[in-house]
């Protein structure tokens, strides 16, 4: 891995994540909610179960859907960020599509069953890496929500799901053992999901870019990956600069270092 530069008045090593703090069930009404802090970036993610599947799903659908929305709150930036009252604009649309497709890549929608879940990601304070923080936080909220849906009998293995006639007759969901719950959770969410930013400044690699690092980066990249080591998406851009294959390898190596720490933190939070 490339050596790290140390003359940007950093309060942490260039290969060190910002401090991560997670508060579960920060709000009481959502199926699951997570207040996620990574340094001074703060995101609130709420997961809700929709009343029905999207209209374009067939009536007899056996698989589910996961959607996401993203928003910067007005006070999240140095100057007030105006509410997007007429619908999400280009950057917001791009970010929420990234979050949604990343989550769907980590979920087995057939195992989830005919359920529609929505992840609302609201940035309370922005200091770089908001999309990455939203993805990591949304994964925690999604797993907690799925765990609760399994416990309530709303999310069941295919062999235990009721027929249409059984539902009409007042079907009662079966009680799963702890082992069955854990097995089905692992089927719905086989692996965790996390995202982290990395960048190049004067040829040196930095992990987890805050605003200062991001605004000075010659190259910045967002890396989204599952805990079994598979990439979901790479977003790498040269800002009036280019980068070599060796520098790309160094960036991905730094990202892996940060992602391993995030996966470990997720395991600790969710037990």
Q: pLDDT by residue (tens digit) across 5-37?
A: 445 667 789 999 999 999 999 999 999 999 999
pLDDT of residue 9: 66
pLDDT value of position 59: 86
Q: What is the CA radius of gyration of the chain?
A: 20
Predicted local distance difference test score (pLDDT) of residue 87: 65
Q: What percent of the chain has pLDDT over 90?
A: 77
What are the distances in angstroms from CA 97 to CA 50, 88, 127, 230?
Answer: 18, 11, 21, 19
Name residue 204's beta-bridge partners: 201
Q: Assign domain 20-191 one CATH number from 3.40.50.300, 3.40.50.10800, 3.30.230.70, 2.40.50.140.
A: 3.30.230.70
Examine the pLDDT at 152 and tell me if it is beyond 90. Answer: yes
pLDDT at 175: 87
**Does residue 128 come out as left (phi exceeding 0), alpha (psi in the -120 to 50 range) or beta?**
left
Please, what is the average pLDDT of the chain? 91
Between the CA of residue 136 and those of 100, 109, 197, 265, what are the distances in Å?
12, 19, 12, 10
Per-domain residue ranges of the chain: 20-191
Q: Are strands 65-72 and 116-125 parallel, antiparallel or unpaired?
A: parallel
Q: Region 201-221: what's the mean pLDDT? A: 93
Residue 3 has pLDDT above 70, yes or no: no
The predicted pLDDT at position 156 comes to 93
Tens of pLDDT, residues 86-133 = 766 778 899 999 999 999 999 999 999 999 999 999 999 999 999 999
The confidence score (pLDDT) of residue 7 equals 56
Mean pLDDT of 23-52: 96
3-state secondary structure 211-235: HHHHHHCCEEEEEEEECCCCEEEEE
pLDDT score, position 4: 44
Q: Is the pTM of this model over 0.85?
A: yes
The whole-number pLDDT of residue 121 equals 97
List all residues 6 or more positions away from 138 whose beta carbon is below 8 Å from its beta carbon: 34, 45, 47, 68, 99, 103, 119, 121
The token pair that represents 203 in the structure block: 């040829």
Name the pLDDT band for 177 (thresholds 50, 70, 90): very high
């Amino acid at each position: 891995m490339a050596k790290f530069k140390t003359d940007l008045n950093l309060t942490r090593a260039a290969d060190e994540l910002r401090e991560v703090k997670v508060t579960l069930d920060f709000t009481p009404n959502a199926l699951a909610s997570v207040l996620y802090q990574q340094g001074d970036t703060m995101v609130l993610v709420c997961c809700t179960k929709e009343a029905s599947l999207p209209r374009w799903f067939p009536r007899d659908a056996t698989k589910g859907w996961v959607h996401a929305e993203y928003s910067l709150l007005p006070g999240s930036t140095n100057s007030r960020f105006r509410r997007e009252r007429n619908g999400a604009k280009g950057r917001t649309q791009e970010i929420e599509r990234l979050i949604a497709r990343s989550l769907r890549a980590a979920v087995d929608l057939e195992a989830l069953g005919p359920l529609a879940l929505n992840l609302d990601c609201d940035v309370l304070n922005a200091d770089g890496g908001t999309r990455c923080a939203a993805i990591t936080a949304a994964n925690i909220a999604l797993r907690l929500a799925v765990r609760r849906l399994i416990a309530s009998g709303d999310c069941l293995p295919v062999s235990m799901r009721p027929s249409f006639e059984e539902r009409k007759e007042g079907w009662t969901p079966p009680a799963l053992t702890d082992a069955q719950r854990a097995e089905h959770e692992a089927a719905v969410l086989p692996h965790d999901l996390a995202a982290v930013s990395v960048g190049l400044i004067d040829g040196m690699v930095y992990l987890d870019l805050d605003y200062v690092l991001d605004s000075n980066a010659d190259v910045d990249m967002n890396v989204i990956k599952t805990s079994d080591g598979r990439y979901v998406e790479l977003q790498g851009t040269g800002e009036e600069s280019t980068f070599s294959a060796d520098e790309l390898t160094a960036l991905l190596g730094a990202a892996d270092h940060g992602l391993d720490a995030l996966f470990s933190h997720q395991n600790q939070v969710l037990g």
